[in-house]
Every structure is written in structure tokens, then in C-alpha cells.
């Protein structure tokens, strides 16, 4: 069974500049992105990290689920006015609000996931999603019987195309003759929370011959995994471990350790070791991974495990370089 890296290991080597605050003042808060706390994916990973911190320390936190884009700035400002510290914003869409409010409250510590906000009181945490997606792409290609696999993204933005491109690279490196179908759900924030459309897009790919579909679509992806289970096909989850949603029908989940990012931000504030700056977390740092547990163990053979573990080590060593779509907005395959 695959063991996840500890918080300390995953964030080892972060080189932020220290801008501490007294541990006694720790009143942590989380602002979720659209889709909400229990999206079973991206936001829920943040919630899991916050809950783990509360369990370990006994320190309560506050959180808020926005219902529309206009609430971002208001929610952050309300947290800051109430003395919440640190305040962690989940998702790239929070960047403008974080930048504005962080300037208004220079003594408050902020963190943001998936975007860089270059201010002395902001920690920016990015992930190498393309590396984790490459690994589950390999799994998809090895599990596929038709040589056709699919990808369903949420909002059509470069970040989600980064997932898609890494996935496609992993598929094609494993089976050069494979065919990869790709659909995005929409162009607005509503694309993160439309499981009906997610299911429809997945079904259209199954109808074209795909037998494995990977999603990077937040709450929309719940519909993708449901469609795979209904069709007797395989889905691949994202962000949180979604293997247990449909045991035996979820090949794996590409883990994006937002839980670690949130836990670390809270912990550093408590320990008076807060730091600002940014870091990018990939396979080497434990920031991305793939999930193997009792729910999918029978779907992943020893040969499949060996091949992805070999590829993981080659990515970590630099022997395999997975192209980052966001570096030039292109995908080589």
C-alpha cells in the first residue's frame, strides 16, 4: 500500500523569508473556492488539512464557502478585521482579492494556493500537477483495453490544460498508439460544480471508445466518476483521494496535497515560524502523488506499480522531464 509523505518531508526545503507572528495570536481561517468545502476534491483537500490541524492541536479555525466571485474580497477582509491569522485562500481565482486585502492588512499573514501574490505577508504555494498527471496517464494507458482514454477538465484555463497535457504525455509515453479525448466543462466558475455535465462529457467519451477517463474538474468530476461506474468503465480522481467514491471503478486518484499546504501554513503560524515567498511542490517534494489503497488495489497490478514507480524516480532525478503547459501554453503531444 502506498504511504503518503509526512508534512515535514513534503515541505522540506522550502526557502521562505521569515516574517513571524506570535503563536498565541494564531486564529487560522480558510476561504474555499467555488464548489464548496465538500466538493470531494480540491476544496475538500484544504478542509482535510484544516481539520487535521484542529485535531492535532486543539486550535479551532474558521472557514467560508463563497457562492459567487464578488464574495472573495469581502470574506477575506472580514476574516482580517476579526483578527484571523493566518488566512489561507484556496484557488487561483482568489489572487486579486488576496493582493488587495493583504496590502490593507500588512500585519496579517495570508497564503494562497495555485497563484503567486508577491507581497511580504503572503505565502504562495504552487504544485507540479503535470507530474502527477503524467503518472496517472501511465496507469490509464496500462489499464485501457481499447487504447482510448479521456480527460474531462473543469474551467478551461491554462492550469487545467496543465493537468491534461501531463496526463496525455504519460499516456503516450506508455502507448504511442493511444488516443486521448479531451473536453472542458466551461469557461466560468460554474464549471467546477456541474456534475451532470461532467457525467455527460464522460459518457460521450465512453461512447467513442474510451474506457478510462481522468477528471480535473472539482465537484464536476463527481459526475465523471459516477458515469464511469455506471458504464462499467474506469475513472481517475483528482486532488483528494477519491478511490472510495466508487470502489473498484476508480483506477486511482492524482493527489494534490493541498491538505499539507493548509496544515503547514497553520502550523508555521502557531510555531512562530511563518514565512512568505513561494515554492512549487512536485513529486520530489511530495506535493503530488497517486493513491493506492484497498479500494483500487485489485485494479493496479504489480507490473503497473513497478512501471509508475520507475517513472516517478526518473521524474524526480530529471531523467524524465514532463512538459509544463503553463510554461508556453503548448502541449508537445
For 78-120, how does the pLDDT look when each residue is reduced to its tens digit (9 = 90+)? 999 999 999 999 999 999 999 999 999 999 999 999 999 999 9
What does the pLDDT average to over 245-263? 96
- Average of per-residue pLDDT values in the chain: 92
**Nearest-5° Cα angle at 227, 204 to 215:** 80
What does the pLDDT average to over 249-259? 96
List of E strands, 128-248: 148-155, 179-186, 212-216, 234-239
pLDDT at 122: 98
Q: What percent of the chain has pLDDT over 70?
A: 92
Flag whether pLDDT at 329 surpasses 60: yes
Q: Sorting pLDDT into bands at 50, 70 and 90, what band is 39? A: confident
What does the pLDDT average to over 257-283? 94
pLDDT tens digit string along 168-202? 999 999 999 999 999 999 999 899 999 999 999 99
What does the pLDDT average to over 54-61? 96
3-class SS at 329?
coil
Between 1 and 206, the more confident residue is 206
pLDDT tens digit string along 2-20? 333 333 333 333 333 333 3
pLDDT tens digit string along 123-158? 999 999 999 999 999 999 999 999 999 999 999 999
CA distances from 131 to 57, 113, 321 (A): 33, 17, 9
Task: Check if the beta carbon of residue 252 is closer than 8 Å to that of residue 290.
Answer: yes
Q: What percent of the chain has pLDDT over 90?
A: 87
Task: Check if the beta carbon of residue 8 is closer than 8 Å to that of residue 268.
Answer: no
pLDDT at 4: 35
Flag whether pLDDT at 23 surpasses 60: no
How is the beta sheet containing 288-290 ordered, strand by strand?
179-186, 148-155, 212-216, 234-239, 250-256, 288-290
CA distances from 16 to 11, 43, 63, 107, 120 (A): 11, 25, 25, 17, 10
Flag whether pLDDT at 320 surpasses 70: yes
pLDDT at 245: 96
Flag whether pLDDT at 326 surpasses 70: yes
pLDDT at 35: 85
C-alpha grid cell, residue 3: 504511504
- For residues 182-196, b (16+ Cβ closer than 10 Å) or e, as one string? bbbbbeebebbbbbe
pLDDT tens digit string along 215-240? 999 999 999 999 999 999 999 999 99
What does the pLDDT average to over 9-32? 56
pLDDT at 19: 35
What does the pLDDT average to over 279-306? 96
Flag whether pLDDT at 314 surpasses 60: yes
Amino acid at each position: 500500500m502506498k504511504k503518503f509523505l509526512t508534512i515535514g518531508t513534503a515541505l522540506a526545503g522550502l526557502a521562505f523569508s521569515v516574517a513571524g507572528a506570535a503563536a498565541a495570536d494564531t486564529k487560522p481561517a480558510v476561504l474555499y473556492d467555488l464548489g464548496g468545502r465538500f466538493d470531494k476534491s480540491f476544496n475538500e483537500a484544504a478542509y482535510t488539512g484544516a481539520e487535521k490541524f484542529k485535531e492535532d492541536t486543539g486550535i479551532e479555525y474558521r472557514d467560508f464557502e463563497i457562492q459567487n466571485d464578488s464574495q472573495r474580497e469581502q470574506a477575506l477582509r472580514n476574516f482580517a478585521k476579526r483578527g484571523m491569522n493566518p488566512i489561507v485562500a484556496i484557488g487561483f481565482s482568489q489572487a486579486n482579492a488576496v493582493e488587495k486585502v493583504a496590502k490593507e492588512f500588512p500585519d496579517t499573514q495570508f497564503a494562497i494556493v495555485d497563484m503567486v501574490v508577491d507581497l511580504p505577508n503572503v505565502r504562495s504555494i504552487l504544485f507540479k500537477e503535470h507530474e502527477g498527471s503524467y503518472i496517472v496517464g501511465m496507469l490509464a494507458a496500462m489499464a485501457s483495453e481499447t487504447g482510448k482514454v479521456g480527460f474531462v477538465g473543469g474551467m478551461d484555463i491554462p492550469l487545467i490544460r496543465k493537468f491534461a497535457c501531463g496526463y496525455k504525455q504519460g499516456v503516450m509515453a506508455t502507448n504511442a498508439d493511444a488516443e486521448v479525448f479531451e473536453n472542458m466543462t466551461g469557461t466560468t466558475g460554474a464549471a467546477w460544480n456541474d456534475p451532470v455535465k461532467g457525467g455527460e462529457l464522460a459518457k460521450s467519451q465512453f461512447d467513442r471508445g474510451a474506457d478510462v477517463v481522468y477528471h480535473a474538474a472539482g465537484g464536476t468530476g463527481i459526475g465523471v466518476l459516477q458515469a464511469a461506474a455506471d458504464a462499467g468503465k474506469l475513472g481517475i480522481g483528482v486532488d483528494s483521494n477519491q478511490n472510495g467514491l466508487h470502489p473498484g471503478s476508480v483506477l486511482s486518484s492524482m493527489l494534490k496535497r493541498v491538505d499539507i499546504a493548509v496544515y503547514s501554513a497553520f502550523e508555521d503560524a502557531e510555531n512562530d515560524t511563518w514565512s512568505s515567498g513561494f515554492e512549487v511542490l512536485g513529486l520530489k517534494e511530495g506535493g503530488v502523488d497517486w493513491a493506492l489503497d484497498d479500494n483500487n488495489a485489485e485494479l493496479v497490478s504489480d507490473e503497473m506499480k513497478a512501471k509508475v514507480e520507475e517513472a516517478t524516480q526518473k521524474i524526480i532525478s530529471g531523467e524524465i522531464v514532463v512538459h509544463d503547459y503553463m510554461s508556453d501554453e503548448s502541449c508537445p503531444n
